[in-house]
């Protein structure tokens, strides 16, 4: 639907007029060190967000992840959800941001929890990932209200915990409780940092596995009396390099993602260890064990079953063709791929909004890592979900993390326009 230009102008003017408030609020959140692990100061941050949402005319409550092991008296897992109902409950647009941050780490030249604002940047741990995103969601909704525009549908905004450790007491919890669910939620925008002109429409699947080869120890001067597990791992690695890697490179997802390399299936050898420790005291022995860890990123089109079967087949072939090759395969982690479906209204809307605000097309991208999208898709059953928000993804988890004020203002406008579209402003 088309939003009247006069409405958009009023809303954008309200966003600009609120710039200082937005900067101050982001800095205020940064000063609450919601470090995860262990999950510090969640209640304080949830309440800061909740009080501001109340001031913005939202009905607010604080869902606590009762019963989860990580919800403890010293580190309660408190989320915050605000609902501002329009003329009807639906369409309902839910904007989500996690307020936990990773530890500051070393190498900072500014106080990571000081909320310093300098040269058009807001500094601090969590500025980009993703307290600025929470501010953007809140002020996008508020700018619409300040512009005197009433919505047909509703806006819901949540601040959730624990995204950095899997999101089980956060977005997964809200989805399990039905707070975010297909029966009430029409679209979800996760305001993670996407560099203001990218739209994340999911991620590839992740399959981490460990392969162990076992040989037979013998004297190193008579290797023919033993079986070398490292040589056998070499057989497997050689097959991966000669056969599997080219096959993976030839597979391209239909998901229109950037960077181009992320359109292919990939495999990385994360680590390998075999035989005696190379830095220890040397003894002449045939290596009787070798272990390697692999990170396979698979495409939605491949699926997990076929991905794993291909690895098993490769290992079986090596065992068949190599006398005495014995292996074990152990699954370490599986994350299934998520992908926003073609034609999703939230994608089409954000494409229009980014074009309108930034004057250039949005780039559809797959996230390099996984994030709370998977819970929205798999538990809540809401495939109409994307990530879009202010901040620079490359700065996430780095020292001297910052978000530019310009990014914050621009993406707040983008979000406001999409809220208007998706809730059918009246």
What is the chain's Cα-based Rg?
25
Interface positions with Zn ion (CB under 5 A): 129-130, 192
**In the complex with Zn ion, which residue's Cβ is closer, 4 or 369?**
369
Structure token digits, residue 424: 């059918």
Nearer residue to Zn ion within complex by CB, 149 or 387? 387
Residue whose entry in the numeric block shows the structure tokens 């969590």: 126
- Beta carbon nearer to Zn ion, 126 or 215: 126
Q: Give kind and range of the element (H or E) at residue 84.
A: strand 80-84
Instruction: Between 192 and 288, name the residue whose CB sits nearer to Zn ion.
Output: 192
- Residue 98: CB minimum distance to Zn ion, A: 6
CB of 100 to Zn ion, least distance (A): 9
Cβ closest to Zn ion, residue 138 vs residue 149: 138
Is 125 or 296 the residue whose CB approaches Zn ion more closely?
125
For the chain, helix, strand, coil in percent to 5 are: 35, 25, 40
Instruction: Name the minimum Å distance from CB 393 to Zn ion.
Output: 9
- What is the spatial distance between Cα 119 and Cα 405, in angstroms, rounded to a whole number? 9
Nearer to Zn ion, 18 or 350 (CB): 350
Q: How far is the CB of 423 from Zn ion (least distance, A)?
A: 25
Which one, of 338, 379, 339, lies nearest residue 172 by Cα?
Answer: 379
Edge-first strand order for the sheet with 187-190 is 59-61, 80-84, 154-160, 92-98, 187-190, 385-387, 198-200, 363-365
Give the DSSP H/E element, type plus range, for residue 329: strand 326-335
Task: Specify burial of residue 176 (Cβ count, 10 A radius: 0-12, 13-18, 19+).
Answer: middle
Smallest gap from residue 36 Cβ to Zn ion (A): 11
- Give the shortest CB-398-to-Zn ion separation in angstroms: 13
Of 3 and 393, which CB lies nearer to Zn ion in the complex structure?
Answer: 393
Residue pair 407/391 in contact by the 8 Å Cβ criterion: yes
What does the DSSP assignment read for 166-226? TSTTTHHHHHHTTSS-TTT--EEEE----TTTEEE-EE-EEEEEEEEEE-B--BTT-GGGS
Q: Which is nearer to Zn ion, 35 or 315 (CB)?
A: 35
**Closest approach of Cβ 125 to Zn ion, in Å?**
12
Q: How far is the CB of 405 from Zn ion (least distance, A)?
A: 20
Beta-carbon contacts of residue 5 (< 8 Å; ≥ 6 apart): none
Closest residue to Zn ion: CB criterion: 129
Indicate the burial class of 81 (C-beta count within 10 angstroms; 0-12, 13-18, 19 or more).
buried
Q: Which two tokens stand for residue 149?
A: 């525009």
Instruction: Tell the smallest beta-carbon distance from residue 145 to Zn ion (Å).
Output: 27
Residue 301 burial (C-beta neighbours within 10 Å; 0-12, 13-18, 19+): middle
């Amino acid at each position: 639907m088309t939003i009247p230009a006069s409405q958009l102008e009023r809303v954008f003017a309200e966003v600009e007029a609120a710039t200082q408030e937005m900067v101050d609020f982001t800095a205020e959140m940064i000063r609450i060190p919601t470090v995860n692990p262990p999950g510090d100061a969640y209640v304080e941050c949830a309440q800061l967000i909740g009080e501001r949402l109340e001031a913005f005319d939202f009905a607010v409550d604080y869902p606590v992840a009762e019963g989860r092991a990580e919800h403890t008296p010293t580190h309660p897992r408190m989320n915050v959800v605000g609902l501002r109902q329009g003329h009807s409950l639906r369409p309902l647009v839910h904007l989500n941001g996690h307020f936990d941050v990773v530890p500051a780490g070393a190498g900072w030249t500014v106080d990571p929890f000081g909320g310093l604002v300098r040269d058009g940047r807001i500094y601090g741990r969590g500025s980009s990932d993703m307290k600025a995103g929470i501010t953007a969601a809140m002020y996008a909704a508020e700018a619409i209200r300040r512009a005197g525009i009433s919505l047909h549908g509703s806006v819901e905004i949540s601040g959730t915990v624990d995204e950095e450790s899997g999101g089980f007491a956060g977005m997964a919890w809200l989805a399990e409780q039905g707070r975010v669910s297909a029966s009430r939620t029409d679209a979800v925008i996760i305001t993670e940092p996407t560099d203001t002109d990218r739209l994340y429409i999911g991620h590839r699947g992740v399959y981490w596995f460990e392969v162990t080869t076992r040989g037979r120890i013998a004297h190193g001067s008579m290797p023919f009396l033993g079986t070398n597990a490292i040589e056998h791992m070499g057989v497997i690695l050689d097959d991966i390099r000669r056969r599997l890697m080219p096959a993976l490179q030839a597979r391209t997802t239909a998901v229109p993602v950037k960077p181009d390399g992320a359109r292919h299936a990939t495999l990385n050898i994360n680590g390998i260890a075999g035989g005696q420790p190379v830095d220890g005291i040397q003894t002449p022995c045939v290596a009787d064990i070798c272990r390697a860890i692999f990170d396979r990123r698979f495409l939605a089109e491949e699926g997990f079953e076929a991905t794993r079967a291909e690895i098993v087949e490769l290992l079986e072939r090596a065992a068949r063709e190599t006398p005495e090759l014995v292996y074990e395969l152990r699954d370490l982690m599986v994350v299934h791929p998520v992908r926003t479906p073609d034609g999703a209204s939230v994608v089409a809307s954000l494409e229009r909004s980014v074009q309108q605000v930034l004057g250039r097309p949005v780039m559809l991208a797959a996230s390099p890592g996984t994030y709370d999208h998977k819970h929205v898709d798999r538990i809540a059953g809401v495939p109409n979900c994307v990530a879009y928000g202010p901040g620079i993804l490359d700065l996430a988890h780095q020292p001297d993390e910052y978000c530019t004020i310009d990014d914050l203002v621009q993406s707040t406008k983008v979000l406001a326009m999409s809220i208007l579209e998706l809730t059918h402003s009246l």
